[in-house]
Amino acid sequence: MKSMKTSFLLFLLLGALTTVLYSGCEPVDENPTGDLRDPYIGEWGFIESFKNTEGNSYIVTITKDPLNSSQVIIGNLGNPGGQDITVIGIVTSSQVIVSKQAMSNGWSVEGAGQMSNVAKTTMSWTYSIWAGGNKDDYTATATLQ
């Protein structure tokens, strides 16, 4: 009878220990707010490449669009002349997509950017700019400032 009690207590202790250890292994939610836009928000230092040569470096600002929960407002994409020249991006589960749209300086732009590291502090972008009737294709690496 004593060995049965000991076995039962040992079984209970093992069950309690397993429960504590198992609950400690739950995955951590990397985006607790559930807003897919959160990792993209901030000031980003862009280093732009054009035709296989490194070009401009400049700051791009990404903010949440208060009117649409899946959109961001991107200021200075392609370095058109200031943060007040903005375009709209749609945030998906893996990237920001900028459909072709006109900017206030007369240029048009389209492209996409996606996180390129686990810490979500670096993005890779590809985009095209139409200015003065010409289309130029760019790539850029963006680093969270």
Range of the domain at 60: 38-144
| H or E segment and range at residue 4 | helix 2-23
Cα-based angle 43, 45, 48 (whole degrees, multiple of 5): 140
- The pLDDT, as a whole number, for residue 25 is 54
> pLDDT for 104-125, tens place per residue?
999 999 999 999 999 999 999 9
Whether residue 31 is predicted with pLDDT greater than 80 in this model: the reply is: no
- Phi, then psi, of 127 in degrees rounded to 5: -155, 160
Domain annotation covers residue 107: yes
List Cβ neighbours of 141 (8 Å cut-off, separation of 6 or more): 46, 47, 116, 122, 123, 124, 125
| Closest C-alpha to 115, from 86, 85, 95, 134 | 95
Residue with tokens 């240029």: 107
Q: How many structural domains does the chain have?
A: 1
Domain annotation covers residue 101: yes
Residue with tokens 């920001």: 96
Domain annotation covers residue 23: no
Domain annotation covers residue 7: no
CA atoms within 13 A on the CB side of 55: 13
Domain annotation covers residue 99: yes
What's the average model confidence in pLDDT over 62-80? Answer: 97
| H or E segment and range at residue 31 | none
| pTM, full prediction | 0.77
CA dihedral 114, 118, 122, 128 (to 10 degrees): -10
- The pLDDT, as a whole number, for residue 17 is 47
* Residue 123, domain CATH: 2.40.128.420
